[in-house]
A and B are shown apart, each in its own frame.
Chain A
């Protein structure tokens, strides 16, 4: 396992253990990517418990993004960019699993 692969798996594990502000992750997949402008990023697909309403609490999601970015930085990974999926979206979760 390369250092980067190990760091990505550790970031996924951190995400799966995350529970704060009413948010809890049920699944995570992290992978390296490069923006169109050449900047490297860490894409993270996160399956979360379904929100109570149309979406999740904005402040809680902001804190989740900050926490994931702090962890990515601590692991030496580029900035984390999250895509959030509710657990009820089985079709999207299947698409995520196919990566």
Chain B
């Protein structure tokens, strides 16, 4: 069954193959698909970590079904909080998220790995929106390649992140998600 699970690595390889097609064209279809596929590699890498955090002993099939409950918006919300707490984005998380920080201590969400994961996810999420929905988007082959490099780097980080901040990050995404039929 494991071979049928969505694997971030195979998605990254698929994105790479899109970038061997002839570049450009009016709709830059290959470049758009490369960016979108690279984004999904990162998305699924994160859902994998979130499911492993909440049901670590469940088998891969069960974890795969639980992963379907984790939406893009849930990950994005937590990523934006990290970016805001780190100062890389304007605005502030809701008071109850800010209140997780004890007086004089850094936020339990903000560490070098979570900042890189959060910023990378936000960037890939933006790029995927452009690639998938914006008919006027200008997407160069070089920018698409850069996004694939970014996704590859952040997927690797997601898969090896073991800090307390990373545990908090994946845990809060789980709490943002909702048990639902899909």
Contacts and interface: CB of A to CB of B under 8 A. Distances in A.
Chain A complexes with chain B? yes
Interface of A: 35-37, 41, 45, 51, 54-56, 58, 61-62, 65-66, 69-70, 73, 78-79, 81, 83-86, 89, 91-92, 95-96, 99
Given A55-B145, A79-B90, 16 more contacts: A35-B126, A37-B73, A55-B143, A55-B146, A55-B149, A58-B149, A58-B150, A58-B153, A61-B150, A62-B150, A78-B90, A84-B143, A86-B142, A89-B140, A92-B24, A92-B140
Contacts of A84: 140, 142-143, 146
A36 B137 CA distance: 14
Contacts of A45: 138
Contacts of B88: 66, 69-70
B20 to A, nearest CB: 11
Given A65-B123, A83-B137, A91-B24, A54 B142 contact: yes
B93 to A, nearest CB: 15
A36 B129 contact: yes
Nearest to A48: B142
Contacts of A95: 138
A92 B89 contact: no
B142 A51 contact: yes
Contacts, number: 67
Interface size bucket, B side?
Answer: 20 to 34
Nearest to A89: B140
**By DSSP majority rule, is chain A's interface helix, strand, loop, or mixed?**
mixed
Nearest to B127: A81
A73 B89 contact: yes
A36 B133 contact: yes
A43 to B, nearest CB: 8
Interface in B101-127: 119, 122-123, 126-127
A81 B126 contact: yes
Contacts of A83: 130, 137-140, 143
Contacts of B90: 73, 78-79
Contacts of A96: 138
Contacts of A37: 73
Contacts of A73: 89-90
B89 A61 contact: no
Nearest to A83: B138
A35 B73 CA distance: 13
B140 A86 contact: yes
A41 B89 CA distance: 12
Contacts of A81: 126-127, 130
Contacts of B139: 83
A65 B143 CA distance: 13
